[in-house]
Structure 1
């Protein structure tokens, strides 16, 4: 069975590493955060994902999973590091480059390097170029390099790593075949071969498609507000058409994929990606529209208490990355719209960006329902769906998810 080195032990890397270890692979995990390394080596987890705690504990206890700050020799190297963007929405692939440099000295002929991080088109080819510069002693044809983008849904990661179809694109046919054979050892979904650049754009296109459709729903909600129409009723009626499926609007778009990946396409083809750019702008503007709604409601209340329900970027997870809810709370606090109470059942402390403001308080749901003048529903967590509607009486309710209709 192959030895695998997984670089980056976050929301994708750790589930991947622990799953491979459970399948009998010898897995060496790498992370730059010493606390993360220590936590995993104790058989514990630093992120929330159903059943991940049990899997990591089992993998560590079996001896098949270890974690370290440094890579180790392996047959397969998987890079699962962040790919954010900088100011101006320019892709930042410095983490990919750093991971490539970290593994370079450990590479041997016959090794397979897989980039799972969602990346701008051409990134996998850059890994090849970097490795040739770092290891001129190696025949470039002796190292196999491929891109296999992750396509998992938080909350179902452990299942979808196995069952989802996987797109595998190598820098050459031999790399594609090598990566295809690796994933066939543990993936039950179909392994679909292509070239690296197509694999990269495929993942970006998937998320851009969703972003564009969400933007339509969000723009429609703004139109409905302007025309004094219930967007939820309108959506139900329009979706009765057999070929119409309008998505649900919300307070914006968050997460590490949909809110980020379309900008990679815009950066690569700025003149052609007009619709994709506009969709991003629509979704990025939605939090400001929600803030305006709250300000209008608070103008009629003396020293308003505003309860913001939910900080995660989607329901029933603890992931706050690129969350529009966090942006909304931050803007409300900075503009001193009122006293801000936050309810997020999946975290135990406010993120630093909100805690540093001093005017935002994390409270239990029952406290927020009791004290708030304005209830701002931002995330459709299950706990919020179960709220007794009688407790909403006498309060101004702004429901951006349509769960309290």
Structure 2
């Protein structure tokens, strides 16, 4: 089977790097996205997201003619669907993007094509995708009804990469591949071996779907323990960073560092897919999600306490207090605001203290619309460090090298444990 033309549906944080890596192997890659700005940007050889080295690879691929972007699907030999899979207000999975992507490529399918769902999905989503495709193309046969003899191959291959390291991990990491049949899996392995240097490990499709959910739920539960521990230590007046340092000296203990919550489109979302399908059984996973989802509110309450303390000390009114939020992204070193607890905290404070909140985010140039609407500006570090309450939300490297001298009426709330790195000193 030859995959000379590959279509990637969804040119975001996973789709664009994947498309670019295929293009570096001299495959003809058609990237599809409904965002006209993203399409135009890519076709200029530029990128609309931040990921180290991605701009160089995209520019080279577009210049060489191996990568181009469009808003409408075209014929290809393999289709990779890498669109968002958010959840609804009740934490139920929203497969609307997958459904739309499936129906958009259906008219272009031909015998022998491979369709791979890369989007992190609840168990059963790949089978549902296959049903949508089959309904749209009754002239073709699919694995659910024709098994190994089907015209179209269907598989699931979840991404397993970390923002900031995507290009390296796409190539080096093992891939879990679950096809609806053995031939489906074999076709997907052949496709990914175009660039994957890690092992392509075959399993069934439902296990492949669950594997990604299990990985991120494992991380979420461990982060929840650290976040809960930080709340307990605050109540008992214990330095949680020192406690964790000491506890981790034990050879079988490795407590993670706490933070203001959990963000990103994976860890903050994927556990809910498990909970939605097994609500009675996924008790620990659900509680961990609730702990992490509750941390931003706890941080906001700590800011309120700091404001009250400053007002009591100085005799000022709360409406005169300036609050600086350091970081909006969901993690260090990226521009990704999806499900970001830092963003949620900044929004909440901006609504509670109108005109009094400043934001520092070195990885974005424009103020997000939500912050514009409540008059929260982006400022530089020099201006922000003069605020009354300094709230560290993201451990960006740009913050670690800065030095701050705190005044007597200033308060630092450090949710990332950067106090030593920031070289903070109390005046007087």
Q: TM-score range by the shorter chain?
A: over 0.9
Whole-angstrom CA distance in 1 between matches of 2:285 and 2:187: 34
Aligned length: 402
Which residue is 2:147 aligned to?
none
1:311-368 residue CA offsets vs partner (Å, 9 max, x unmatched): 000001111100000110111121228711111011112211111112x121000111
Which residue is 1:15 aligned to?
17
Secondary structure, in 3 states, of the residue corresponding to 1:362? Answer: coil
Whole-angstrom CA distance in 1 between matches of 2:243 and 2:292: 20
- Is residue 2:209 matched to residue 1:200? yes
1:59-92 residue CA offsets vs partner (Å, 9 max, x unmatched): 1111111111111111110000000001111100
Whole-angstrom CA distance in 1 between matches of 2:396 and 2:160: 22
Q: Check the 8 A contact 1:215/1:280 in 2, yes or no.
A: yes
Which residue is 1:290 aligned to?
299
Q: TM-score, normalised by structure 1?
A: 0.98
Which residue is 1:367 aligned to?
383
Match of 1:74 among 59, 73, 76: 76
Match of 1:6 among 2, 5, 8: 8
Match of 1:262 among 260, 271, 276: 271
Which residue is 2:419 aligned to?
404
Secondary structure, in 3 states, of the residue corresponding to 1:218? Answer: helix
Which residue is 1:341 aligned to?
358
Which residue is 2:232 aligned to?
223
The aligned runs of 1:342-357 (5 Å cut-off) are 342-357=359-374
- Is residue 2:106 matched to residue 1:92? no
Q: Could you tell me how far 1:211 is from its partner in structure 2?
A: 0.2
| Structure 2 runs not aligned, ≥5 long | 143-149, 421-428
Query: Runs of 4 or more off by more than 6 Å in structure 1?
Result: none
Q: Could you tell me how far 1:247 is from its partner in structure 2?
A: 0.3
Match of 1:238 among 243, 247, 254: 247
Which residue is 1:306 aligned to?
323
Match of 2:333 among 299, 316, 321: 316
Q: Check the 8 A contact 1:4/1:74 in 2, yes or no.
A: yes
Whole-angstrom CA distance in 2 between matches of 1:64 and 1:338: 49
- Is residue 2:405 matched to residue 1:384? no
| Structure 1 runs not aligned, ≥5 long | none
Match of 1:249 among 239, 258, 267: 258
Whole-angstrom CA distance in 2 between matches of 1:95 and 1:361: 32
Secondary structure, in 3 states, of the residue corresponding to 1:285? Answer: helix
Whole-angstrom CA distance in 1 between matches of 2:12 and 2:250: 41
Q: Could you tell me how far 1:393 is from its partner in structure 2?
A: 4.6
Deviates more, 1:161-170 or 1:327-336: 327-336
Which residue is 2:198 aligned to?
189
Secondary structure, in 3 states, of the residue corresponding to 2:377? Answer: strand
Q: TM-score, normalised by structure 2?
A: 0.92
- Is residue 2:67 matched to residue 1:52? no
Whole-angstrom CA distance in 1 between matches of 2:6 and 2:357: 47
Q: Check the 8 A contact 2:21/2:195 in 1, yes or no.
A: no
1:109-142 residue CA offsets vs partner (Å, 9 max, x unmatched): 1100000000000000111111111111012211
